[in-house]
Amino acid sequence: MPQMMPMSWLTLFTMFSLALMMFAAMNYFTGTQTPKQPTKKMITKTNMNWKW
């Protein structure tokens, strides 16, 4: 079985690196983003009459 020449290894590495970067970018940018629902928490105030 003949060995691959170094230029072929470099091309193979470049192709796999580009494929990985493209896959990562597509995975990052095509994610479904769900808008967050604003959570309104009712703050209860109790009126305290201080008797000094």
Total-model pTM: 0.51
Query: How many helices and strands (H and E) does the chain possess?
Result: 1, 0
Q: Which residue has the tokens 């470099």?
A: 10
What pLDDT is stored for residue 35 in this prediction?
76
- Tokens standing for 31? 């994610």
d(CA 5, CA 2): 9
Q: Give residue 29's identity as a one-letter amino acid code.
A: F
18-47 per-position pLDDT tens digit = 999 999 999 988 877 777 777 777 777 788
d(CA 23, CA 21): 5
Q: Which residue has the tokens 């170094």?
A: 6
